[in-house]
Structure 1
Amino acid sequence: MDLRQMSYFVAMYEEASVTRAAERLNIVQPAVSVQLARLEESIGQKLFYRTPKGMVPTHAGDDAYRRFQPILREVEQARRALTIGGDTVKGHVSLGAVSSVANNALSETLRIFHGRYPEVTLRATGGYTTDLIEMLRTAQLDLVIVNTPSRGGRGFDTLPIINEDLALICDIAHPPLPATLHPREAAERDLVIPSQRHGLRLIIDAAFSAHDATLAPRFEFDELKTIEEFLPDSGFATILPPIAVHRALRTGRLRMHPIVPSVPRRLVCLSNTARPLSRAAELFVEELRERMIEVSSDLTKAIGATP
């Protein structure tokens, strides 16, 4: 066996499909099948059952995955360490982020990061959680900052970024509301919230459903900036993580009302287990994490826990 066969096997194991494995590896399907057959021949065991629903690993396949994955990780880490050389942090980082990050903390983090590591180039892409995870899976991105997915899938490393409770947010001139609202009370407001394609909406729907609160939004906008600009003088409210509109909250253009029981949103960084993050990428993730925690803390101090 060789490293190529191992990498093809790991892709097949994680994707459970010859087609998706070939797409991920950017090769033709027969090449994947040939290398897998050679690997099975060399170890004398079947690694997958071929079923109508895809490739299902055998016990030997599960064992091979546990053994091959650390080897491929170490090889990739060694390659990157030898490529970088010296103490200067260099390289390119391709990242994706959901709009609640891309609209705010991301731009500030990019400025700070560039000042500290000027020889690192970055490409940032905004999008929905499911779309970004697919781009990560197919190696279009090195890492993604997303809401905790319901199904991340095999082959992803997860690093927590920040936990934040969603709140009902409205214009400063909105009619008076209780300091805190139960999900059922929040659901009764005239709401503008993201559509069900948006990761935040899935979190909202699940939490409100658990409290027998039925959401019937009057408007659905997926761009959080559009929601923020719509709220003034509209009489509407929204349900968002406060950090997504932290500037408007700090300047007093908008106000927030915590929802109790809380509706938590967990933001995480996902990376591909088979492609360890470079030093530059690790430093960027840490910078973003620190910045988001700082912004959240400053916001709480500025407006209080129950404005």
Structure 2
Amino acid sequence: MTNNMKKTIQRKPQFRTQVVTFEDSQHKSIYKCPASELAKEFIKTIPEKEQANAEYVKDVFEVLNGTLHGSSIEYDYLPLPSVEDKVIECLQKRRIDQATKWLDDFIARINSLPVTKTLPIEFLTIIARSETCDFESARCLCPGLIDLIPRNVLCKNDNWIIIDNEWSFRFAVPVSFVIFRSIYSIAVLYQNLIRLNASRNEPAVVFFKSGHKTYYIPLKWSRFLTQLDIRTSTMLRWETAFQKYVTGISSQLDKRVPDRPQCRTAFFCTNLFVRSKLTHLSLLRRAEKRAARFIDTFCNHDRWLKP
């Protein structure tokens, strides 16, 4: 039997969980367990969320439901790729159109869920920590599946399965914010890959800036954001607030959207960085070979072997 463990140590104590994988010759299971005493109550709320979400999304998605054992939840292991895996695989093969198609299908499914048009007061108060907003109402998911992002949806032919339902709420969450987070999560984690895909035929456009760093997305993805009914700058603030809600840590960097679109067709710094890394590894390999030859000579030279 083998087991692996992954902890979420950057969260507030009441939200800290650990995922343990157990595997034997016949079965493989995943257990979600509390990583602190305070997180036990949080774990116990997840099965109820899964059942509510399964009923809500039943015409569009499936939901992976777990079984509560004391203060741990057992899940069947599903050896399936996520939507994010599919998108990244396409980017690695420099197939922007196919990556965009995966996101198109994913966002279309989100938009086909039942929505309520309302002012999400609880979301604004509890998560966004905002006393004012620049809209009177918005299309909302209720329950609020705030973490319905490509990483948390597995693909099995036409069946798309939602996993990791811990960040869903009973109150309404704007659909636009859920879609925004889908693009945001990929842009932040795979920024170098996005930059390497930029070309004259497939330019990249500025998504947002954070401190001295600029985050880009493929130009073809920008329509996912322009079709939303809430400003990107507003949702950037919400994302920062949500991360603070989960971790208790507030980002010191101000995230902002440029005043006008800015496109790039190449990122020479990124390419030079990659080349310099390869050059560094090449020099390192040469140094290792020289050291090996020196050691071989040192150990086998006659004057070192004679008494």
- TM-score category, normalised to shorter length: under 0.3
- Determine which structure has more spread, i.e. the larger CA radius of gyration: 2
Structure with more relative contact order (C-alpha pairs < 8 Å, separation 6 or more): 1
TM-score calculated relative to the size of structure 1? 0.25
| TM-score, scaled relative to structure 2 | 0.25
